[in-house]
Structure 1
Amino acid sequence: MSISPFDHPFLSGLMGDEEAANCFSAENDIAAMLRFEIALAEAQAAENIIENAAAEAIRDACQNFSADMAALKSMVALDGVVIPELIRQLRDIIPLQHRGSLHLGATSQDVIDTSLMIRLKPVVTRLETGLSDIIADLDKLEKTFGNNGLMGHTRMQAAIAITVGDRIESWRGPLLRHRRRLDILKRDLPVIQFGGAAGTLEKLGDKGPAVRERMAGLLGLHDSPQWHSQRDIIVEFADFLSLISGSLGKIGQDIALLAQGSAELKLSGGGKSSAMPHKQNPVLAELLVALARYNATQISGMHHALVHEQERSGAAWTLEWMILPSMVASTTTALRSASSLLGSIESLGKA
Structure 2
Amino acid sequence: MSDLVCPLDFRYGRKEMKAIFSEEHKLQRLLDVEAALARAHAKVGNIPAAAALEISEKATTELVKVERVKEIEAQIRHDVMAVVKAFAEQCPKHGGYVHFGATSYDIVDTANALNFRDAMEVMRKALAELRSALVALADRHKSTLCIGRTHGQHAVPMTFGLKMAVYAMEVDRHIERLDECKKRVCVGKMSGAVGTAAALGKHAMEIQELVMNDLGIGYAEASTQIVQRDRYAEFVCILANIATSMEKFATEIRNLQRTEINEAAEWFDVAKQV
Class of the TM-score when normalised by the shorter of the 2 chains: 0.7 to 0.9
Partner of 1:159, secondary structure, is strand
Aligned partner of 2:187 in structure 1 is 191
RMSD (Å) for aligned C-alpha atoms: 2.3
**Matches for 1:147-158 after TM superposition, within 5 Å:** 147-158=143-154
Aligned partner of 1:272 in structure 2 is 273
Q: 2:137 matched to 1:141? A: yes
The 1:70/1:31 distance shift into structure 2, 3 A limit, reads: closer
Cα shift at 1:84: 0.8
Aligned partner of 1:50 in structure 2 is 47
Amino acid at match of 1:154: T
Quick one: distance in 1 between partners of 2:253 and 2:33? 45
Q: 2:86 matched to 1:83? A: no
Give the TM-score normalised by structure 1.
Answer: 0.69
Cα shift at 1:26: 1.6
Identify which of structures 1 and 2 has the higher relative contact order when contacts are C-alpha pairs closer than 8 Å and 6+ apart. Answer: 1
The alignment-based identity, stated in percent, is 25
1:282-304 Cα distance to aligned partner (Å, 9 max, x none): xxxxxxxxxxxxxxxxxxxxxxx
Aligned partner of 2:18 in structure 1 is 21
Is the 8 Å Cα contact of residues 70 and 82 (structure 2) preserved in structure 1? no
- Residue of 80, 96, 102 corresponding to 1:100: 96
Cα shift at 1:66: 2.2
Cα shift at 1:46: 0.7
Quick one: distance in 1 between partners of 2:273 and 2:169? 32
Q: Which runs of 5+ in 1 are unaligned?
A: 274-351
Is the 8 Å Cα contact of residues 253 and 266 (structure 2) preserved in structure 1? no
Partner of 1:162, secondary structure, is strand
- Residue of 6, 16, 22 corresponding to 2:9: 6
The 1:29/1:107 distance shift into structure 2, 3 A limit, reads: same
Partner of 1:187, secondary structure, is helix
Cα shift at 1:233: 1.0
Q: 2:37 matched to 1:36? A: no
Aligned partner of 2:255 in structure 1 is 257
Partner of 2:148, secondary structure, is strand
Quick one: distance in 1 between partners of 2:218 and 2:61? 28
1:67-109 Cα distance to aligned partner (Å, 9 max, x none): 354442244456554211121122233245x333221111111
Which aligned runs of 4 or more in structure 1 are off by greater than 6 angstroms? none
Quick one: distance in 1 between partners of 2:110 and 2:81? 16
Q: Which runs of 5+ in 2 are unaligned?
A: none
1:25-56 Cα distance to aligned partner (Å, 9 max, x none): 12111111111111101101111111212212
Aligned partner of 1:230 in structure 2 is 228
Aligned residues: 266
